[in-house]
Structure formats: structure tokens, C-alpha cells
Amino acid sequence: MTTMTIAKAINEGLRATLAANPKSLLMGEDIGPLGGVYRVTDGLIGEFGPDRVVDTPLAESGIIGTAIGLALRGYSPVCEIQFDGFVFPGFNQITTQLAKMHARSHGNLTVPVVIRIPYGGGIGSVEHHSESPEALFAHTAGLRIITPSNPHDAYWMIQQAVECQDPVIIFEPKRRYWLKGDVDVQTPGPSEDPFKAHVLREGTDATVVAYGPLVPVALAAANAAAEDGRSVEVIDLRSISPIDFDTVTASVQKTGRLIVAHEAPTFGGIGGEIAARISERAFHSLEAPVIRVGGFHMPYPVAKVEEDYLPDIDRILEALDRALSY
């Protein structure tokens, strides 16, 4: 067991992947000598060379599209998109090509491309650097979407994503890159299946589902609620597509109340999908409507007001109060 940050854990996970799989390679703008704008690929080009750690032209469609071609030739590319808001020039390749290649070829072709996207706000940055576009991709069949919230998951999920035969997008919570935690590099343990949710905290009065950057916020809210004598269960969703509804359903059947928290705007978001599914699966267990806590229906606001935009402990506690008032 060693302690490291999420950024370092992904770096180590990529290092392990490159060492184990000679057909894996990294692609992206600035990932070579610079080590990526967040230094996630720091030192890898020195160890594995420019054919394995490919500094690409500044072209997101080009990065994704050529990665698809490499995958068709038997390679396992891991693409880095510098920031969430820059993925859109590559959106066409992801949604019309990458997601559909396996299906349209009747399963004859697989494209095990991994796309790493640092996402979310809270770092005081400029526009297009703080968005949470996961729902736009989750709506597309053929993609898998995961998001780690701690270093241990980060270390293993990147490796599991590369091993997966389907395209996988990893949304990396950029404001948590410097979050430290224990990593067991010997065994993934309960993190063996990257598409399964984790119950991080047991509770009986309500369930809070969160993922990525909001997991520490949900845990802090649960701790605060405990001081008021409320027992809140916290689930780290980990996988956004597929969603582990079995774990969420089981929790709601126990607690009777569900709050879903994410940074992305609530309208059309993952929270709505969870609310609808849980209403269908556990209607008779629910003591209150499923309540969503998320961003507003606006472009991600300027940095000086982003604290008002981002769901925080108080917003989750307010939702908890509402759920308990039924």
C-alpha cells in the first residue's frame, strides 16, 4: 500500500499498462516532454519513447480518429483530451464512429480506444475548462464511461479501461488530481469491476449517489448530517455508463430516500436517468421523490461565481432536508 495523488495514480496506471502491453500507446497534445498540462503523463515519453507516447497535432478529431484506425490495426490507444470543453471537435468521431464500429461490423471489429478527459470545475479557470459533458456521451450506445474519485480507483480503472474491448471514456475529476489516498498496486480488491458502484458509507435514513469530484462533498455532507442524528448512505457511482442500478436500488430499498448529486446541469443529466430508473425499480420503497442536486441550466459560469454554481455540502443537506420532510 502506497500513498499518492490521483494524478500520480493515473500516471502509475499508465506506466503499468505501457509496460505490460506493447500494443498500448498514449496520444494527445502536450503529453510528451511536458507530461500533459496536468503532468499526468509525466516521464512516460522518456521511458517508452515517442512511438508509445505520441505528442499529436492540436486536433481532437484527429486524435480520436487516428486512434480508431490504430485500434482497427490491433493497438490499444489511450487518448488525452486536455480539457472537457475541448472534446467537442472530436465529438463526431466519438459518437458516429467509435461508438458504433463494433455494432455496424456485426461484432467483427473491436475498437478498444480509451479517452481520458479531465473534467469539472472548481479550479478557477476560464471558459471551456470546467464543464461536465458526461451525459452527452452516456446517451450514446456503444460507449462506456467511468470516473474515479480516489487514487486507488484511478490507478486500477485506467488499466481496466485499456483492457476493456469496448471504447471507454474516463472522466477524470481535475479538481481532485491532487487528492491523496492509499493505493494498493498489488491487487484491485473490490475495485476489480470498474463498472460497479461502491457503497462508501452505510446509512439508513437516505442515500446520496455521487461520482467523481462530488464524492468527497457527499461524504462530508453525510458526516455533517450525522451530527444532526441522520444516517446517510453514500454511494460512489464510479460508472456512468453502464450504471450499477442494482447497488443503487438495494440502497434505496433500505433507506427509502435518494439524492443524486453531480456537477453537470440537472436538466437532461445523469441524475434524471437515475431518478427515473429508481422510480420504476423501487417506487414502493420511496418515501420521497428522488431529488437531484446539480448545476444550473446555463453555460458553466465565470470562475468568480462558480462557487455559487457548484453543488456543495449545504446544497446536499438542503436536498436531504427536503427528502426527509415528506
Partner 1 sequence: MGTHLPSTEFDGTAVDDQREADAEAVMGEPAAQMVQLLGPDGKLGTDPVFSAYADKLTQEDLRGLYADMAAIRRFDVEATALQRQGQLALWVPLTGQEAAQIGSGRASQPQDYIFPTYREHGVALTRNVDLAELLRQFRGVSNGGWNPKDTNFHLYTLVLAAQTLHAVGYAMGIQRDQKLAAASDAAGRQPDAAVIAYFGDGASSEGDVHESMVFASSYKAPVVFFCQNNHWAISVPTNVQTRVPLSNRAKGYGFPGIRVDGNDVIAVHAVTEWALEHARQGNGPVLIEAFTYRVGAHTTADDPTKYRPSTEEDAWRAKDPLTRLEKYLRGQDLADDDFFAKVKADGDELAAYVRRTAHDLENPDIRQAFANVYAQAHPLVAEELAWFEEYSAGFAGGEESAGQAAKAGH
Site for partner 1 in 55-94 (CB under 8 A): 56-57, 59, 61-62, 64-75, 77, 89, 92-93
129 is catalytic: yes
Residue 281 Cβ, how far from partner 1 at the closest point, in Å?
A: 7
Q: Binding to partner 1 by residue 189, rule CB under 8 A?
A: no
DSSP 8-state code for residue 58: S
* Region of 105-113, 147-155, 295-303, 313-321 interacting with partner 1 (CB under 8 A): 105-113
Residue 102 Cβ, how far from partner 1 at the closest point, in Å?
A: 6
Instruction: Quote the CA–CA distance of 149 and 122 in Å, as a whole number.
Output: 15
Number of residues that bind partner 1 (CB under 8 A): 53
Residue 225 Cβ, how far from partner 1 at the closest point, in Å?
A: 31
Instruction: Quote the CA–CA distance of 280 and 272 in Å, as a whole number.
Output: 12
Q: Binding to partner 1 by residue 244, rule CB under 8 A?
A: yes
Q: Binding to partner 1 by residue 145, rule CB under 8 A?
A: no
Catalytic residue among 102, 129, 152, 262: 129
Give the Cβ contact number of residue 193 at 10 Å: 12
Q: Binding to partner 1 by residue 97, rule CB under 8 A?
A: yes
Instruction: Quote the CA–CA distance of 160 and 179 in Å, as a whole number.
Output: 21
* Region of 50-58, 127-135, 213-221, 259-267 interacting with partner 1 (CB under 8 A): 50-58
Length of the chain: 326
CB 242 within 8 A of CB 213: no
DSSP 8-state code for residue 311: -
C-alpha cell at position 185: 498496486
DSSP 13-48: HHHHHHHH-TTEEEEETT-STT--TT-TTTTHHHHH
Site of interaction with partner 1 (CB under 8 A): 22-23, 25, 51, 56-57, 59, 61-62, 64-75, 77, 89, 92-93, 96-97, 100, 102-110, 112, 141-142, 144, 164-166, 195, 241-246, 280-281
